[in-house]
Chains A and B, each alone.
Chain A
Amino acid sequence: MPAVQDILVFFQTTPALDASVVAWARYEASRGTGIGDLVEESEPPYNNAMEAMRDGWQVIQMSELKHRLPEDGYELGPLPYQTVLSKFNELQQEEDLPS
C-alpha cells in the first residue's frame, strides 16, 4: 500500500519547538477520512515537537510570535501557538480499522 500523510498538531502557549504541548489533534489520513470515535487521551503522544521530530515527524509549520496592540493585549481567545507535524504512513483500508 502507498504511504500517505498523517498530521499531528500541537497547541502551545509559546511558539518554541521545545515548548510543552497543552492540546493536540491527530489527522491520520492513513487510517480514514474522519474521526468517528474520539478516544480520550490524558497525555500528548510527545512532550514537545522536538521529541516528535526524533521519532520521524517532520515540522511543516511553526508559529511566529504575535504582535499585540495595546487595546487587545489582554484579550483571550484560542490557544495562541501551534506546530504542525507530518509523517507518511502506509495507507490502511478504512473497513480494516476499528470504528
Chain B
Amino acid sequence: MKEHLLTAKQMARFVASGYLKFEGMIPPDLCRACREEMPHNNGYLSVGAPFEETWPKGTALGDAFRLPQVQGLIHSLVGPNPLYDHHAAHLTRAGQTRGPDMHQDSVIDFRDNYFDIQLSLFPVDTPDNMGGTFLVPGSQFRNVRTSEIGIYHHIRGKIWATCPAGTMYVWNTRVWHGARSNYTDRDRYMYKLRLNPTQPQIRNFDTADLDDPEIGQILATNHGWEGNEHRYELMQRVRLWRFVSGQPHYDVGERFLRRIEYQSSPAAV
C-alpha cells in the first residue's frame, strides 16, 4: 500500500485547503459500470459499522472504493479500519438549475484533532457547465450550522469540480460546499462516501518528505477569502498539522502559536 499513500506535502495541502483532487483514480471501464449502478444506489447501509464489512462486494462501486489507490488515500487520511458513515448518489438532472446552496455537512463538530473524510467520485466527464460540486478551500476550521451559510452566494477562492471521468475528490467533511446548476443536456452524478476514523489520525501517510520546507508555505496558502483572518486560519492549520504529523512543537513563519503558548520559567522571573 505504501506506494499509494499521500506524501507529507499532499497531506499538508489537505490540512490547509481541506481537499485534494485526483484525476484518473478510477479506470474508464469501472467508471462506466459505476455510473450504471448509481441510480439504484442511494440509501444508508449499516451506519457506524466497519467499512470493509459493510461496503458491498462484487459490484462496480464496491470494487472502485477498494482499488489500491483509493485504499491508500483512505488509509492516509483516516487510518486503518475506518467506519462507514453514509453514502449518497447526488444527482443534478440535465437542465436543472440551483440557487444558493452553500452548506457544511451536519452535524456541527467542534472536536480538535479529528476529521471525517468524504470521497467524491465523478463517473463521467464533468465540464464547467455541468454543475460539479463547489468547495470553499480552507473553510474546514469554520464551524457553522449547516445551511445558514447559504447567505454567502459568492466567495473569493471558491472552486468547483471540473474534471474528466474517473476523478475523485477527497475532502474534510467540514469544508463548505454545495451543488451548482447543470446547464447541459446530461444528468450529473457525484457519488459520495463518508468515512470515520477509528483511531487518532497520526502519521498514516508517507512521511518521507516530512521535513520539506515547502510544507510551511503550503500550510500558509491564501485561498482568497481569508483577508484579516489569515493568521488565525494558519494557527488552526498548524495545530492540525502538529497532530497529524506527530510534531507537537511544529510552527511556521512568525510562530503565532508560540506567542500564545510561551510561559516564562521561574528562573527567568
Bound-complex Cα distance A40 to B100 (A): 10
Residues of the B chain whose Cβ atoms lie less than 8 Å from the Cβ of A36: 97, 99
Which listed residue (A14, A41, A74, A76) contacts B143, Cβ 8 A? Answer: A76
Bound-complex Cα distance A59 to B181 (A): 31
Residues of the A chain whose Cβ atoms lie less than 8 Å from the Cβ of B260: 74
**Interface 1/0 per residue, A37-67 and B, CB below 8 Å:** 1111100100000000000000000000000
Q: Taking beta carbons and an 8 Å cutoff, which residues of A are in contact with B?
A: 9, 11-14, 19-20, 22-26, 34-41, 44, 74, 76-80, 99
Q: How far is the CB of A32 from chain B (nearest CB, A)?
A: 11
Given A13-B227, A34-B99, answer yes or no on A22-B156 (Cβ-Cβ < 8 Å). Answer: yes
Bound-complex Cα distance A44 to B260 (A): 36
- In the complex, the answer to whether A23 meets B225 with C-beta atoms within 8 Å is yes
Q: Is B115 an interface residue (CB 8 A)?
A: no
**Interface 1/0 per residue, B90-129 and A, CB below 8 Å:** 0000000111110000000000000000000000000000
**13 other A-B residue contacts (CB within 8 Å) besides A74-B235, A78-B149:** A11-B152, A13-B228, A23-B155, A24-B155, A25-B152, A25-B153, A34-B99, A35-B153, A38-B98, A38-B180, A76-B143, A77-B142, A78-B142
Q: Is B1 an interface residue (CB 8 A)?
A: no
Interface centre among A9, A19, A44, A78 (most CB of B within 10 A): A78
- In the complex, the answer to whether A40 meets B98 with C-beta atoms within 8 Å is no
Bound-complex Cα distance A12 to B225 (A): 9
- In the complex, the answer to whether B236 meets A37 with C-beta atoms within 8 Å is no
Bound-complex Cα distance A77 to B228 (A): 14
Of all chain A residues, the one with the shortest Cβ separation from B100 is: A38
Residues of the A chain whose Cβ atoms lie less than 8 Å from the Cβ of B233: 76
Bound-complex Cα distance A23 to B102 (A): 12
Q: Is B210 an interface residue (CB 8 A)?
A: no
Given A24-B153, A76-B143, A77-B144, answer yes or no on A37-B227 (Cβ-Cβ < 8 Å). Answer: no
- In the complex, the answer to whether A22 meets B225 with C-beta atoms within 8 Å is yes
Which listed residue (B98, B156, B225, B227) contacts A14, Cβ 8 A? Answer: B227
Residues of the A chain whose Cβ atoms lie less than 8 Å from the Cβ of B229: 13, 76, 79-80
Residues of the B chain whose Cβ atoms lie less than 8 Å from the Cβ of A74: 232, 235-236, 260
- In the complex, the answer to whether A76 meets B141 with C-beta atoms within 8 Å is yes
Q: Is B154 an interface residue (CB 8 A)?
A: yes
A-B contact pairs, 25 of them (CB 8 A): A9-B151, A11-B152, A11-B155, A13-B227, A14-B227, A19-B227, A22-B225, A22-B227, A23-B152, A23-B154, A23-B155, A23-B225, A24-B154, A37-B97, A37-B98, A38-B98, A38-B99, A38-B101, A38-B153, A40-B154, A44-B154, A74-B236, A74-B260, A78-B142, A79-B229
Bound-complex Cα distance A76 to B227 (A): 14
Q: Is B226 an interface residue (CB 8 A)?
A: yes
Q: How far is the CB of A36 from chain B (nearest CB, A)?
A: 5
Of all chain A residues, the one with the shortest Cβ separation from B140 is: A76
**Interface 1/0 per residue, B136-151 and A, CB below 8 Å:** 0000011110001101
Of all chain B residues, the one with the shortest Cβ separation from A12 is: B227
Of all chain B residues, the one with the shortest Cβ separation from A23 is: B155
Residues of the B chain whose Cβ atoms lie less than 8 Å from the Cβ of A13: 226-229
Bound-complex Cα distance A80 to B236 (A): 17
Residues of the A chain whose Cβ atoms lie less than 8 Å from the Cβ of B141: 76
Interface centre among B151, B160, B236 (most CB of A within 10 A): B151
